[in-house]
Structure 1
């Protein structure tokens, strides 16, 4: 039970990687606060955790709104006495198109959720960690931020920006005993990557099958990344086994990125 006795807040916990991380954290003994916009999906995640004997608190939160995130931080502090771990996993895929065919609204929404949402979450929840002089922050980035991927400029820009945010934040928080790290997953198996591949195939004028095969062969392991593997990496970075690790960008990509 690597997270026994700790309280973790996971954003984006209603589906995908966020849900996988929340489930794994609960199985490792953490009390997990679940945050995302969808009440129905958050309730499903909470039910799954509790059915397995874990503990969860679902708090529907629009992570694009500073006031909503401030309210989340205040509730966590009042009801649970704060958190030990923050996982910023909320994000959207954004549009798939050449840059000149991306609207300003699509660009702004992708940056607002993927980058600004992480900023707002950290801004609201980190002061309590600083006061307690302890804590771990895990941010979910993407290998797309570090290598070209056709039609994915807004997403790539938002995810690479998180690397700079994490490194600088690690330098700021280190003296206060708080660690900050980032995980860069490769293509994670699930509905989101399937939708992205379909959109890329349409934008490039090729087939879904051809695009899917290209994705798989680019990674040395020749396959997509199971979400459970990313969740295991998050547990490592959240817990005591990574006590001396901060400011790192950990690839969980099957070798798709090695830098």
Structure 2
């Protein structure tokens, strides 16, 4: 039976990989994204809407449309996020700190607030949140992002307890370094902040995990598909790492 899947930040990167994975399962998928160009490039098989997750009105319009047209949802994935600035905390700009926390946490709040109401009323559903291994370890030079992703794990734990009695499962996915353009930008930013070469920073990422490689977006999407499946019926309140086993953070 086709499920109704809603994904924020779903027009590129991890969000798009998840959307395509659920479409391949035969599910009905809707995504929102703040990037109009990315939204325009999404396959017609996916309902894609331009909406910034920090804009309460835009999110209300997007989610309200889904609720009206689909009469609810079965799987909601709060995925939208940004990497934020890099550097020693004393050098960071307050506006950059606020923007990072707003996209990652305020966006999750607006998404989860809607999902909680809809899924509780149905008495069933799956809510997934994209955190990061940064939500499990204290990475230096990335304090806004780390704080936001730890917040996502805390939100996941609280919602799992809050929604569990209503038959709703809540889990966080914690990707490691995911190969692709976004990780390339993070490496360039960290290299500049630390006065190191990009090659050295990249090597540091891979050397810090047991499998000695980056993960792929498809591997993260596979975790989302599993957590939304009947095979994960007793899994809730967990922060599931897809990272090749992080062994050190510097």
Aligned equivalents of 1:74, 1:202: Cα separation in 2: 42
CA contact (8 A) 1:96 1:200 kept: yes
Answer with 30-39 or 86-95: which moved more.
30-39
Deviation at 1:146, TM superposition (A): 2.1
CA distance in 2, matches of 1:247, 1:43: 35
Give 1:9 deviation, angstroms.
Answer: 0.3
Report what 1:53 is aligned to: none
2:73, 2:115 → 1: CA distance? 8
2:43 aligned counterpart, secondary structure: helix
How much has 1:150 moved relative to structure 2? 2.9
SS at match of 1:46: coil
Verify: 1:21 aligned to 2:18, yes or no: yes
RMSD (Å), alpha carbons? 1.3
How big is the shift at 1:257? 6.0
The alignment's TM-score, normalised by the length of structure 1, stands at: 0.93
Gaps of 5+ in 1: 51-55
How many residues in Structure 1 have an aligned counterpart in Structure 2?
A: 248
- d(CA) in 1 for partners of 2:34, 2:54: 10
* Native 8 Å contact 2:208 2:247 kept in 1: no
* Distance (whole Å) between structure 1 residues aligned to residue 187 and residue 112 of structure 2: 31
Instruction: Measure, in 2, the Cα distance between the counterparts of 1:126 and 1:71.
Output: 17
Which residue does 2:5 correspond to in 1? 8
Contact 2:73 2:119 in 1 (8 A): yes
- 2:38 maps to which residue? 41
Q: Deviations over 1:112-162 (max 9, x none)?
A: 000111011111232111111010011000001222323100000000111
User: 1:126 maps to which residue?
Assistant: 116
2:218 is paired with a residue of what secondary structure? helix
Query: Residues 257 and 185 from structure 1, CA distance in 2 versus in 1: closer, same or farther, beyond 3 angstroms?
Result: farther
Q: Does 1:105 align with 2:95?
A: yes
The equivalent of 2:127 in structure 1 is: 137
Cα offset for 1:5? 1.0
Kept in 1: contact 2:210–2:247 (CA 8 A)? no
Matching of residue 228 in structure 1 with residue 189 in structure 2: no
* Secondary structure, counterpart of 1:225 in structure 2: coil
Aligned 8 A contact 1:180 1:246 in 2: yes
CA distance in 1, matches of 2:247, 2:60: 35
Structure 1 counterpart SS, 2:173: strand
Q: Deviations over 1:161-210 (max 9, x none)?
A: 11110001000000111110001100000111111111111111111111
TM-score calculated relative to the size of structure 2: 0.96
> Matches of 1:227 and 1:128 in 2, distance apart?
28
Aligned residue for 1:242?
232
CA distance in 1, matches of 2:117, 2:139: 36
Aligned to 2:150: 160
Distance 2:136 2:235 in 1: 21
Q: What 5-or-longer segments of structure 2 have no aligned partner?
A: none
Q: Is the 8 A contact 1:9 1:83 kept in 2?
A: yes
Aligned: 1:201 with 2:191: yes
2:247 and 2:105 map into 1 onto residues whose CA distance is 21
Hey, what does 1:76 align to over in structure 2?
A: 66
